[in-house]
Amino acid sequence: MKVDRKGHTTVIKETKGDIQLFMNNLTNVFHDFKNDNLIVDVSHDNKVTLVDLLKFKDLVKQHKKAKKSFVIVAENVDFNDVPEDIHIVPSVLEAHDIIEMEEIERDLGF
């Protein structure tokens, strides 16, 4: 797991190719990132499925309650099948764009 903090956003990248281990590790250290917007990058692992990514749903809910963004970067996912309450995008750049939009919405009171 590689962590890169820049300003109010933290990018956490999965590097081992084991999504379950990564999720367990992220859950264990999640409290360290409670004040940051999170980008969870699993694009390195081509075997990740939407079912795997939906396991992050509890962390997403918890983070959104704290008024922070949680965006997952994955490539081999049918984005039409992704539920509305979880953000999954194909690139880190798009993840940053989502966070920017959500920050603006929060500033405006939405």
Q: What digits encode the pLDDT tens for the residues 51-104?
A: 999 999 999 999 999 999 999 999 888 888 999 889 999 999 999 999 999 999
Q: Are the beta carbons of 53 and 90 closer than 8 angstroms?
A: no
The full set of domains in the chain, from first to last, is: 2-108 (3.30.750.24)
pTM comes to 0.92
- C-alpha to C-alpha distance for 49 and 102, rounded to whole angstroms: 25
**Cα torsion through 92, 23, 8, 45, rounded to 10:** -20
Place 13 in a pLDDT band, splitting at 50, 70 and 90.
very high
pLDDT at 110: 76
